[in-house]
Amino acid sequence: MSTQYRVQNPVTDEVIETFDSATDAEVEAALAKAAAAYRDWSTRPIAERAAIVARVGELFKERKDELAAIAAEEMGKFLSEAADEAEFSGDIIGYYAEHGEEFTKDQEIPTFSEGKAVIRRLPIGPLLGIMPWNFPYYQIARFAGPNLVLGNTIILKDAEICPRSALAVQQIMDDAGVPEGVYTNLFATHDQIATIIADPRIQGVSLTGSERAGSIVGAQAGQNLKKAVLELGGSDPYILLDTDDVPAAAKLAWTTRMYNTGQACNSNKRMIIMEDIYDEFVAELEKLARAAVKSTPDNEVEGAYSAMSSRAAAEGLREQLDRAVAAGGNLRVGGELADAGAYLSPAVITDIPVGSDIYYEEFFGPVATVYKVTSDEEALELANNTQFGLGGTVFSQDTERAAAISRRLECGMANVNTPAGEGAELPFGGVKRSGFGRELGPLGMDEFVNKQLYYVEK
């Protein structure tokens, strides 16, 4: 058997443990169990499913410290951030357990005939989830929570570098009483993923990951006429029109960008700053970058930064910075690759030429990219000059001024005077090359659903 799943500590680059990929027989067994389990799970009362799923959410919270330790070793996440993620995952799952019946209730619609017309929201069958490493619990929770309550069954393919996280989630499902086959973790290969998507028992696929992965999976889903939800990359604009406290504004922008060592899809990857505060803002960022302290996941001191997810990720980001400088960018501070491990010192870069190839790329790591603008219209034009469309935010002491720009942002999530609106109840997703479909909130339970017309003639 080939071995691609592994725990490789990014702090030391040491391979701690390896796992064999699934055999083709194990893939077939997972498909058969998911299909068989669906026949029972989907016919249970939704309140019964919700009660089991509620216990899943409780276990995420009860085991948050154990889950945090796993994520810290696998991908370098600070323990506090990982524990918060596990707790938030529990909240998300609990949200759907509590509100799932409301979100799926029959919806009567007016009809011009004598009959009665109702839209029923029903499950559609076994689903495939392909999840990333950067939020190994949260990403699973927002896919599994609504779909398990709805009555779908799930085969979950997690990222190759977080197998222990995946197994810990499977254990939670088992311990909560989720029946066998309703949720199955599978260490599948890329070839096996294609086989699973093509299998007639699978009715949909959800992927969170890179633009490249999304294009491949989206094509496979389309070829096989399967419903897909894709949450891909982002190059979110973070517009600062004015402020009466530049240092505080810079610190908020910086801490937002450095969260999860900059490895978040909807992070503020392009800071767009009005010219009268630009120089002071950049100087504050440089000060924060120079004060950054290389640390480890268990030592979150002031200004600490941890390792990125892998040495390859750190080297790839450094290569992007090199290309940005070659194109005319000014790397003001940071971006230094450590001799060992997956550390790249937090960086501030300005003057990347708008329209250059590197301008359109996503910097997935601890890099603050800053642009200067002279007007609201210029800020809006720059914000929308991207192939991505995940989130965006506008800051101003004049809320309506910020709102006017936010209404014209070409993105799935527009925010005013906050880095992002986040909560189990708030939908998440994008447009353009950031993908399609929504997770979280009521919309997160309205994707993999049969919106069946039920019509009765009087």
Residue numbers of the chain with a pLDDT score lower than 50: 1-2
Please give the pLDDT value at position 266.
Answer: 96
The single residue of 73, 231, 284, 362 carrying the catalytic annotation is 231
Please give the pLDDT value at position 4.
Answer: 87
Please give the pLDDT value at position 2.
Answer: 46
- Do the first three CATH levels of 6-232+433-457 and 237-423 match, i.e. the same topology? no
Domain residue extents for the chain:
6-232+433-457, 237-423
Q: Report residue 361 as tokens.
A: 């790329």
Contact yes or no for 436/411 (Cβ under 8 A)? no
The single residue of 160, 265, 284, 447 carrying the catalytic annotation is 265
Please give the pLDDT value at position 271.
Answer: 98
Exposed/middle/buried for 325, CB within 10 Å: 0-12, 13-18, 19+? middle
400 contact partners, CB below 8 Å, separation of at least 6: none
Please give the pLDDT value at position 404.
Answer: 98
- Look up the CATH architecture of domain 237-423: 3-Layer(aba) Sandwich (3.40)
CATH no. of 6-232+433-457: 3.40.605.10
> Is residue 411 flagged as an active site residue?
no
Query: Number of C-alpha atoms within 13 angstroms, CB side, residue 120?
Result: 9
Q: What is the pLDDT of residues 340-357, one digit of tens each?
A: 999 999 999 999 999 999
Q: Report residue 177 as tokens.
A: 């009483």
Contact yes or no for 293/302 (Cβ under 8 A)? yes
| Displacement of CA 103 from its chain's centroid (Å) | 23
Q: pTM score, two decimals?
A: 0.96
> Is residue 362 flagged as an active site residue?
no
